[in-house]
Amino acid sequence: MQTFIDIVLFLMLAATAISIVRTKSLFAIVMLSGVFSLLSALLLVTLDAVDVAFTEAAVGAGISTVLMLGTLALTSRTEKPSSHSNFVPFVVVLITGAALIYGTLDMPNFGDPNAPAHVHVGPDYLERSVEEIDVPNVVTSILASYRGFDTLGETAVVFTAGIAVLLLISGLRRRREDEEADEVDDNEGQS
């Protein structure tokens, strides 16, 4: 049953991804990427990652769609057809995919309880979080307590990105007005 749901959701994801490849309208592409994020959130729920699914639905389908629509409003709406051939990228992607699939052949089966990932620190967190942190959601207790410094580093990254975006965007209107003023000056000088 799990495999069946996985495959149905995957087919929907693949259909969305392929229509993103083929669509030219950037508005449609942004909307399809929101659909992709929501479908991937569904798939994450079937993989037991409810917190991640929640974040993916809020951040991937919500905020990033809004940011991309803002970019479209400031730039252009359609994609120009590319002039060079698609053969070389296709071969590159095939080779990379084949290498990755070759890499998975050594991995344990999906859901195997004796996989290396489940016998190292994972069980420790599950056992000790009850006494040490006393929060029902283990993901929360790891995120905020055991790996609190990771979360601090994440906040630093988000802060840096926010400053960089502000620096890049901030002078937009001022520069545009300056250009218009220059053009007016030029026209007056010529006449």
Which 87-146 residues touch another protein, going by CB under 8 A? 89-90, 92-94, 96-97, 100-101, 104-105, 107-113, 115, 117-118, 121-122, 125-126, 130, 134, 136-139, 142-143
| Residue keyed to tokens 């229509």 | 19
Closer of 74 and 191 to another protein (Cβ): 74
Closer of 81 and 189 to another protein (Cβ): 81
Instruction: Check if the beta carbon of residue 9 is closer than 8 Å to that of residue 46.
Output: yes
Q: Does 184 bind another protein (CB under 8 A)?
A: no
Closer of 73 and 189 to another protein (Cβ): 73
- Measured distance CA(149)–CA(37) in Å, rounded: 28
- Measured distance CA(7)–CA(77) in Å, rounded: 34
- Measured distance CA(36)–CA(29) in Å, rounded: 10
Q: Which of 169, 183, 185, 186 binds another protein (CB under 8 A)?
A: 169
- Measured distance CA(108)–CA(40) in Å, rounded: 23
Q: Which of residues 13-42 bind another protein (CB under 8 A)?
A: 13-14, 17-18, 20-21, 26, 29-30, 33, 36-37, 40
Q: Does 181 bind another protein (CB under 8 A)?
A: no
Instruction: Check if the beta carbon of residue 61 is closer than 8 Å to that of residue 41.
Output: yes
CB of 189 to another protein, least distance (A): 24
Q: Does 12 bind another protein (CB under 8 A)?
A: no
Q: Does 49 bind another protein (CB under 8 A)?
A: yes
State both tokens at 119: 């016998």
State both tokens at 66: 């809004």
CB of 83 to another protein, least distance (A): 6
Integer CA distances (angstroms), 24 to 31, 53, 82, 85, 148, in order: 13, 29, 11, 17, 43
Q: Which of residues 57-76 bind another protein (CB under 8 A)?
A: 59-60, 63-64, 67-68, 70-72, 74-76
